[in-house]
A and B are shown apart, each in its own frame.
Chain A
Amino acid sequence: MSTYADPYASSRETTEGTVFSVTGGDWDSLVTEIGQAKEERVVVNMGPQHPSTHGVLRLVLELEGETVTEVRCGIGYLHTGIEKNIEFRNWTQATTFVTRMDYLAPLFNEAAYCLGVEKLLGITNDVPEKANVIRVMMMEFNRISSHMVALGTGALELGALSPMIFCFREREKVLDIFEFISGLRMNMAYIRPGGVAQDLPVGAVDKILATVKDLRHSFKDNEKLLVGNSIWMKRTEGIGYLDLAGATTLGVTGPVIRATGLPLDLRKIQPYSGYENYKFDVVTADTCDVYGRFLIRINELEQSLRIIEQCAEKLKSLEGAPVMVADKKIAWPAQLAIGADGMGNSLNHIREIMGTSMESLIHHFKLVHQWNL
């Protein structure tokens, strides 16, 4: 089996049957050869770098004719050993890692992690109200940007290009807000154990409200394109059926389980970060299919906007309130922040930290720098 006629379209015999190597070369000869085989069953390796697998996913598909009868997934290609790395870092440094766990939901990862750290430290109730309001607001913005990618790329997959253009336009507006508030569009490490990294910049509430108004108007474009669209419905209705029993035994949550009619939403049943103080509805569907999950995402956009508006109202009365716990052994005393000019801390701030506040200097050294020695 060592001589190959064509190194880019070869075949060899194994105990499992004939193995064909296909690299985009001679499809005709492949089809002829497979056609001659007695067995209908063909095992196809798809990926790990295949145009229709998102991220780096590898699928091993078992086909009977055109029907996929079995699929095995190789999901390890994006495994980065974050937990192992965090073993060697301090608690604040770990936010830099967890924010990268899912690039579409960085703030949710940060929030989940920081809530856990705060519980371990026993400071859950010490987190200032303003930090909680900012967290909720940022998470809801993040939900919108994440849903936008889900809807946009989902439609793209089914052959509709326009929704993706619209969805990514909306996502950009949300990312602009992230950049304005945290300094970064993605992977912000903005939520920290004890609060958030820095206070809102000047004029944030007005900008947030303007963006909410803009988004609410723009979301109508997406709805018009897809909701009730017959081509879209033909490709999503009854597809990916997973009912309540299946979802519970598999431990599936989120829009997938809400599409079975169960209003499972931790923001309502086990509220965190003050979600019990906001008015919003849990969106469900009863179709158990892709179309139901799509409708849930569409309708959750409006609920997120509602929550953000309530956050903005609360933030108006929280001007100047703290956004981090007072304990300087948890919060970094230097209060590093981007100034209004986007240029980082002012010289006066640095001068005060370095020159006049001995305690800040010591704490900053102990918390930030000494770890690195």
Chain B
Amino acid sequence: MTENQQGMFGAQGTGDTSGYGGLVRSQANAGSAQRPFGGYFDQVADDLERAYPDFADAIERVVVDRGELTLHIKRERLVEVALILRDKLKFEMSMGVSGVHYPEDTNRELHAVYHLLSVTNNQRIRLEVSVPDVDPHIPSLVEVWAGSNWNERETFDMFGIIFDGHPGLTRILMPDDWQGHPQRKDYALGGIGVEYKGAVTPPPSDRRTYK
């Protein structure tokens, strides 16, 4: 949550019709989990350590929260770990690449989260990579899971994370000439006029006097 995140129509105080006014969010910053992780998570961690000798160096943090396992990985090691997870640990499917923006988390502002599913073992884990806003580069996993192609394009479009090695990293949802990345926390909601064939419809904030 940043200071410039406001209600929908940019209103302050009592004019905000967005439903955001009273919301107070605190950021949970869980530390690394300690063994035993519980369930099949220990098995997954053991198998990964055995198959990947640099485990201790590549994994920054292990988080077990609400029955879900997340491995925080250094970005330089992401492709190696992903390949081992796919080939040795049978995580055959990547179900998506999410982006998260933590503006307060200096030098780790942008996170990419990979949701993996093993059909063979009926397991799910998550990989998380964090990069600084000034250097938002993460190696692409399209070579590992082809479905990451569109997922990475979406995360690029919404968060501005650049996936190095992607075969065609272009915007997927927003228009090609769009400015900015809308899902970042410092990107305001609304306030953009709609232009069609030369005529401009002003944004709601200019149309009505909510202020």
Contact = CB atoms under 8 A, between A and B. Distances in A.
A88 B20 contact: yes
Most central of B5, B172, B187 by chain A CB within 10 Å: B172
Interface in A64-95: 75-76, 79, 81, 83-85, 87-90, 93
B103 interface: no
A122 B28 CA distance: 15
Given A371-B19, A373-B16, A84 B182 contact: yes
Contacts of A371: 19-23
Interface in B46-103: 66, 92-96
B172 to A, nearest CB: 6
Contact of B189 (A85, A120, A269, A270): A85
A370 interface: yes
A76 B182 CA distance: 13
Interface residues of A, number: 29
Contact of B17 (A76, A85, A372): A372
B14 A79 contact: no
Contact of B183 (A83, A269, A372): A83
Contacts of B189: 81, 84-85, 87-88
B33 interface: no
Contacts of A90: 19, 23
A75 B149 CA distance: 14
Interface stretch (A132-140, A192-200, A248-256, A295-303): A248-256
Interface in A118-133: 119-120, 122
A252 B147 contact: yes
A59 interface: no
B182 A81 contact: yes
A155 B51 CA distance: 49
Interface in B147-206: 147, 151, 158, 171-175, 182-183, 185, 187, 189
Given A75-B173, A76-B174, A93 B19 contact: yes
A83 B173 CA distance: 13
A264 interface: yes
28 contacts: A75-B173, A76-B172, A76-B175, A81-B182, A83-B183, A85-B8, A87-B185, A88-B8, A88-B18, A89-B20, A90-B19, A90-B23, A249-B146, A250-B147, A251-B93, A251-B95, A251-B96, A252-B147, A253-B93, A262-B119, A270-B122, A370-B21, A371-B21, A371-B22, A372-B21, A373-B14, A373-B21, A373-B22
Contacts, number: 78
Interface centre among B19, B174, B175, B185 (most CB of A within 10 A): B19
Given A270-B124, A370-B22, A372-B21, 11 more contacts: A76-B172, A81-B189, A83-B183, A87-B5, A88-B7, A93-B19, A122-B66, A251-B93, A251-B151, A370-B21, A371-B22
A81 B172 CA distance: 13
Contacts of B94: 251
Given A76-B172, A372-B21, A248 B93 contact: yes
A46 to B, nearest CB: 18
A79 B174 CA distance: 8
B37 interface: no
Contacts of A93: 19
**4 A-B pairs with the lowest CB-CB distances in the bound complex, closest first:** A251-B147, A76-B173, A79-B173, A250-B147
A249 B82 CA distance: 13
A269 to B, nearest CB: 5
A196 B16 CA distance: 29
Contacts of A75: 172-173
B14 to A, nearest CB: 6
Nearest to A79: B173
